[in-house]
Structure 1
Amino acid sequence: MIYLKTDEEIAFLRESNLLVGKTLGELAKMIKPGVSTLELDRIAEAFIRDHGAIPGFLHYQGFPNTLCTSVNDQVVHGIPNKQPLKEGDVVSIDCGVLLNGFYGDSAYTFEVGEVSEDIKQLLRVTRESLYQGISKAVAGSRLGDLGHAIQSYTESYGYSVVREMVGHGVGRHLHEAPEVPNYGRPGNGVKLAEGMVIAIEPMINMGKRNIVQEKDGWTIRTVDRKPSAHFEHTVAIRKGDAEILSSFEFIEEVLSLQSQK
């Protein structure tokens, strides 16, 4: 069942998603070589609770932490740990909150110190592909249009799209219908309608698309151990352009200030 949201519900969802954006912005200040993902997790949990919300991922289906932190060849669902991040790493941070009965969900892949040019391009293209997908997220389009936009853009650079992990509806539940693949054929799939709220989250690999789950039961990594990138926005479907409910602005403000130092 796909639930169409009222304007009032979308306003609540916007509030939840903005808090996710602010949380990721707070983490952007801390990400550097030597910091552990477990430290980032503690900061995120405190920040979310200080703002009157509950971490959306903590204990969700047994997940042990507030953040999913996926480093280098880890695609998604990495569990925070004490291992320090190293110069040249990348870390995808996926964060969710529950506020006023509605979930927020967004992800961003961060550079740790100075990364190689080929990694920079993977992150740039993956991020751009998210907006390619969002451009098709309008009432009357189909999910195949959205997935195809992401797939064709990233594959034109020689990258591959993870098939098994997909985006999803967001609302009073963290994961709602429909599933939102990052690949597809134009004109195929569920028709998008005004009031749908979906998380679009390209997971793009530098190498092959094949993935494997680690023994911890959560962490997904690339089979060939090549890097992966992940960016995610939650959007509301409208008759015109999609309304992006989450935000990268808080992150970009921090990264811009850091680059000026």
Structure 2
Amino acid sequence: MIELKTSAEIQRMHLAGRFVAEVLSEVGRLADVGVNLLDLEHHVRGMLGRRGAQSCYWDYAPSFGRGPFRNVICLSVNDAVLHGLPHDYTLRDGDVLSMDLAASIDGWVADSARTIVVGTAAEQDLRLIRATEEALEAAIDAARPGNRLGDISSAIWAVARDYGYPVNAEFGGHGLGRTMHEEPHVSNRGRAGRGLTLRPGLTLALEPWFARTTDRIRYDADGWTIRSADGSRTAHSEHTIAITADAPLVLTRRESERPATRSSTAGRLSTTDG
């Protein structure tokens, strides 16, 4: 069942979205060479507690996980891209770190993810991150009343093809509102003009994620952390949006973030995020 949100409910989600954006900005600032993932996890726990927010991940127990998730943020390094369990790992120069947070405030949820490079960045890693950022902005632009869900999926897929990256369709975006996962599922690969007609009040988490050379995945022994099957590096970008009668409203935009924009050269883009 798909639940359309009122303007007042979207504003409440926006409050949660601004907090999630603040946390991801802070974690990105703190993540540096020599920092342990568990220190980042504990810092986020403190931010949640001070705000009176709840992590949607704590005790999350879907069919694909192994036992309940007992962390408040997902931290995935290098070839890990989704559901990374914070663990005793010290960040190294050149690591690619994906950070994913869903939080609830007063019963309303927002969900966002970003990927950064710790220390010295390799151009091929920056290119992969930029591709997910550009795909996310293309997806947001397609999220307009009268368009179809397939238009969002197709927009993501088109950017991946331009960059030459394969796309996994097992995990993608989703509806959200009072809970972290609602209908509909939003694939990162699809055909334009197909699927659900988009209407004002629909709230979605859009989350393109790519691995450099494969669309296949494997799980760690922890039953949660998802990696590229061939060990190639990965990146993940996500925003919570609301479809309105006018332009899509991004509920998790970070203050320092400038939306990624295409340049005239395929496979390039300009973006700034402190």
TM over 0.5: yes
Look up the SS of the partner of 2:44 in the other structure.
helix
Give the match for residue 135 of structure 2.
129
Contact 2:145 2:243 in 1 (8 A): yes
Which residues in structure 2 correspond to 1:230-249 (within 5 Å)? Answer: 230-249=236-255
Look up the SS of the partner of 1:29 in the other structure.
helix
Q: Report Cα offsets for 1:155-208 as digits up to 9, x if no partner.
A: 111111121001111100110000011110010111111100000000111111
Contact 1:21 1:250 in 2 (8 A): no
Contact 2:97 2:118 in 1 (8 A): yes
Contact 1:28 1:255 in 2 (8 A): no
Look up the SS of the partner of 1:2 in the other structure.
coil
Q: Any gaps of 5 or more consecutive residues in structure 2?
A: 62-67, 259-271
Which residues in structure 2 correspond to 1:177-188 (within 5 Å)? Answer: 177-188=183-194
Give the match for residue 20 of structure 1.
20
Contact 1:28 1:251 in 2 (8 A): no
Give the match for residue 49 of structure 2.
49
> Cα distance 1:51–1:136, how it changes in 2: closer, same or farther (>3 A)?
same
Q: 1:77 aligns with which of 80, 83, 98?
A: 83
Q: 2:101 aligns with which of 95, 104, 129?
A: 95
Percent identical pairs in the alignment equals: 38
Q: Give TM-score, length-normalised by structure 1.
A: 0.94
Amino acid at match of 1:57: Y
Q: Report the Cα distance in structure 2 between the residues aligned to 1:190 and 1:166, rounded to whole angstroms.
A: 16
Give the match for residue 11 of structure 2.
11
Which residues in structure 2 correspond to 1:1-261 (within 5 Å)? Answer: 1-61=1-61, 62-250=68-256, 256=274
Q: Report the Cα distance in structure 1 between the residues aligned to 2:168 and 2:40, rounded to whole angstroms.
A: 26
Q: Could you tell me how far 1:240 is from its partner in structure 2?
A: 2.2
Amino acid at match of 1:149: A
Q: Could you tell me how far 1:255 is from its partner in structure 2?
A: 5.8
Q: Any gaps of 5 or more consecutive residues in structure 1?
A: 257-261
Contact 1:36 1:84 in 2 (8 A): yes
Two-structure CA RMSD over aligned residues (Å): 1.4
Contact 1:41 1:67 in 2 (8 A): yes
Contact 1:22 1:250 in 2 (8 A): no
